[in-house]
Each structure stands twice: as structure tokens, then as C-alpha cells.
Amino acid sequence: MIKPHGSESLDPRIVSADRAQQLLAEAESLPSLLLNSAAAANAVMLGAGYFNPLKGYMNLADALSVSASLHTEDGLFWPVPVLNMVEDISAIEGASRIALRDPNTQGNPIMAVMDVAAIEKVTDEQITQMAQQIFATTDSEHPGVATFTNLGRFIVSGDIEVLNLSYFQADFPDTFRTAVEIRNEIAERGWNKVVAFQTRNPMHRAHEELCRMAMERLDADGVVIHMLLGKLKPGDIPASVRDNCIRKMVDLYFPENSVMVTGYGFDMLYAGPREAVLHAVFRQNMGATHLIVGRDHAGVGDYYGAFDAQTIFDDKVPEGALEIEIFNADHTAFSKKLGRVVMMNEAEDHSKEDFILLSGTKVRQMLGEGIAPPPEFSRPEVAQILMDYYQIQND
């Protein structure tokens, strides 16, 4: 199986049940910090092994280095800073060991214990510089920039031990999986060549066929559909609805033992190319050998070029930095001429009118009005789940 990123074996920061009880007892006497959602999501990803080989939150020097050059100070390839940014440090000032509390679970239980390496002030200029490098913009209308620039002006760095993985295991027991669990299931299924498909949306026919194309062209054993289960921008489809849509599609339209439907606990960054590289890092950690990267992968609005998330792997990822390979995909759509879904750049003698193309706005409008998109665009069973969701929203 493909090796994890940066180490010979996976080192998830989640602790055993016995160790968790010890840490909970200790935490009663420790200063505690209520995390923001972004820092809590990083703790979940560290705990689940997705951010291997990191052992905790980065310091300011590493954050600046990663933002500028996609490497930590000691040379580890990494595309996006993994930070615990804080607005108010009064409760933990001077502490060497602290308890981290979950902002996304009722009662704010302790989710990790941290050895504090440093508490550093970050300037507005440094925040702006990092935002520009990570998101390629400082526009406050960009949802990732808006979140990042308002997390706080102190960086609390250090290694963590994670006691629990927040609400994800309870809310998505059939879908949320750690990197360790996915690796184990890949091994149990006897898969060697494994394609990962990233999604924060329900999957329509184009996405379905893209998974099928990648499997066939790479002669892969299976696809891991790996959906984001954390926080999104307003208007995005909730994770539970997406999960139902994807499972229905897989159950009805894919051969048995060809697809794993799984999810991970992270908040969407909308960082386009940089986030695509992060996706590759943690998909390698979970055991995938290939990642599908399509048009405007992890993008939002018009902030990124259609293929920037593909070209970054050629322009900014040094050879040998990652073992996972990228399956580059163009926009896929149903060809009325050929009677099937194709990559548009591979369809000869086609004009735009030869494809069934619907904007996201148009699809949402149709679903909200109880009108199913054409079956060439969306499977009827998937469309029904979405129409039911929009009906509830509109009532």
C-alpha cells in the first residue's frame, strides 16, 4: 500500500480510551481554551491521521514558510498552515499545558490536551500576506479569506493528544472514517490501486461518470468517495442530505465492492489550488494512490482559473514530494450526439449546444420548484432526495 506522507507509518494523534481517561482527569486542573471551528477541525484531522506526520499546530515561522513556499521550516512539504489561532489568550497566558475545548459540541467538552510550545502575536500584515498566498486573494467576500482573517491575532502552537473526534462519529456513524480506518478497509477489500474523489456537493451524472472513467482508465480496484462533513458556506447542501444522495447513487449504479462511501471532519477552506494539494496529502495518508482533480477543484466564485488546481501540481509541487498521483479531469457533461457523459475536451465536433449543461443556480431553482433535472444530468432517485430537501427548506 502507498506510504503515508512524510513517514513510514501513520501516526494519528487520537489516544486510546485508557489514555483519554487519564487526560480527562488531568484536564480538570489545566487552563482551558475554547477553540474556534477551524482549529477544532484541524484537531480532528490530526486525531484521525489525515494530517500525518504533523503532531500538532504550527508556529508562526512554519505558518509563514508554508504559506510562502509550501514547506515547513525543517523542509516538510505542506500546502496550507495548520493553526490554532486565538483572539483572547488571557485564560492560557503563561501555561505550558492546556485543555482544548470543542466549540461544535454541546457543553464544549475537552477534545484535546496540548503542550504549548509558543504563543505568538501575528500582525495584520502577516495575516494579509498569508491570506494572499493561501487563497490568491485578500477579498473579504471570499469565504475562506473572511474566516481566516477573523480567527484571531495569536498563534498557539504545540503538539496535541486528541481525546475524541468531535461530533462526526456520532452524527455520521456510517460515513465518517479516520485515515487509519480507510487504510484498513482498503486492505480488507484487497484493493491496490485506489482512486479518491473529493466532494462537498451531491453527485450528479457527471461526477458519477468521472469516477467511472478514472477507475477504467487507471485500471483501479475501487473508488473512495470522500465527502467533507464539516462546515460550509451558507447555501451549500448539508452533509446528511449529500450523504443520502451519494449512497443512493452508489447503491443503484455502481457494481458491488467498487466504491467506498466515506467522509472526513474538516471545514471547507475554498482555497482552490492550495486546498487541492492539501486534499492530495491527506488522501495519500488514507491510502489512495490517485486523486481526481477536476475543473475549479475546491474553488469558489471566480477567484481561480478553471485548471489552476491541476497546474499547481506541475508548478509548485516538487518532484517526489508526494507519492499520490493526480488524475486530471475536464468538465464532464452529457453529449446529446453520443448519448453518454463525456469529458468535454475529448468530444470532437461538438459545440456547447451539443451538451446538456445546467448552472448550479438553475438546478437549485428547478429542485426548489419540485422540477427534476433531466435524467441525463441527475439520476431521478438523487433528484428526488434533493427535491424533498428543498421542499422542506421552502415550507
Provide CB contacts within 8 A for 139, sequence distance 6+. 145, 303
Whether the pTM exceeds 0.75: the reply is yes
Domain boundaries, the chain: 17-169, 174-394
| pLDDT above 90 as % of the chain | 89
* Beta pairing, strands 194-199 & 97-101: unpaired
CA distance 23 to 12: 17
| pLDDT above 70 as % of the chain | 100
Helices and strands in the chain: count of H runs, count of E runs: 13, 15
Average pLDDT score, the chain: 95
Class level of CATH domain 174-394: alpha beta
Q: Of the residues 97, 153, 200, 247, which is catalytic?
A: 200
Can you list the pairs that 386-389 forms with residues at least 24 positions away whose Cβ atoms lie under 8 Å? 386/202, 386/237, 386/241, 386/245, 389/237, 389/238, 389/241
- pLDDT tier at 395, thresholds 50, 70, 90: low
> What digits encode the pLDDT tens for the residues 301-358?
999 999 999 999 999 999 999 999 999 999 899 999 999 999 998 999 999 999 998 8
Q: Which residues of 300-320 are buried (b: 16+ CB within 10 A; e: fewer)?
A: beebbeebbbbebbeeebeee
- Give the pLDDT mean for 264-270: 95
Q: How much is the pLDDT for 361?
A: 82
Q: How much is the pLDDT for 293?
A: 97
CATH code: domain 17-169 is: 3.10.400.10
The answer to whether the Cα torsion of 341, 247, 193, 6 is positive or negative is positive
Which element (helix H / strand E) includes 135? helix 124-135
Asked if 297 and 198 count as a contact pair (C-beta separation under 8 A), the reply is yes
Q: How much is the pLDDT for 167?
A: 95
| Angle, CA of 152, 156 and 157, to the nearest 5° | 140
380-394 helix and 360-368 helix, angle to the nearest 10 degrees = 70
Q: Of the residues 150, 201, 244, 328, which is catalytic?
A: 201
Q: How much is the pLDDT for 236?
A: 81
Provide the 3-class DSSP secondary structure of residue 332.
strand
CA distance 129 to 67: 8
CA distance 385 to 389: 6
Record the cell numbers describing residue 29, joined without a space.
Answer: 486542573
Residue 288 has pLDDT above 70, yes or no: yes
200 among known catalytic residues: yes
CA distance 262 to 241: 14
Which element (helix H / strand E) includes 363? helix 360-368
Which element (helix H / strand E) includes 385? helix 380-394
For residue 74, with 0-12 CB atoms within 10 Å meaning exposed, 13-18 middle and 19 or more buried, which class applies?
A: exposed
* Beta pairing, strands 32-34 & 97-101: parallel
For residue 340, with 0-12 CB atoms within 10 Å meaning exposed, 13-18 middle and 19 or more buried, which class applies?
A: exposed
Provide the β-strand partners of residue 340. Answer: 335
Residue 360 has pLDDT above 90, yes or no: no
Record the cell numbers describing residue 11, joined without a space.
Answer: 501516526
> What digits encode the pLDDT tens for the residues 236-249?
888 899 999 999 99
| Backbone φ and ψ of 332, nearest 5° | -110, 145
> What digits encode the pLDDT tens for the residues 175-226?
999 999 999 999 999 999 999 999 988 898 999 999 999 999 999 999 999 9
Three-state secondary structure of 115-130:
ECCEEEECCHHHHHHH
> What digits encode the pLDDT tens for the residues 100-149?
999 999 999 999 999 999 999 999 999 999 999 999 999 999 999 999 99
CA distance 69 to 27: 37
Q: How much is the pLDDT for 12?
A: 98
Q: How much is the pLDDT for 215?
A: 97
Gyration radius from the chain CA atoms = 21
201 among known catalytic residues: yes
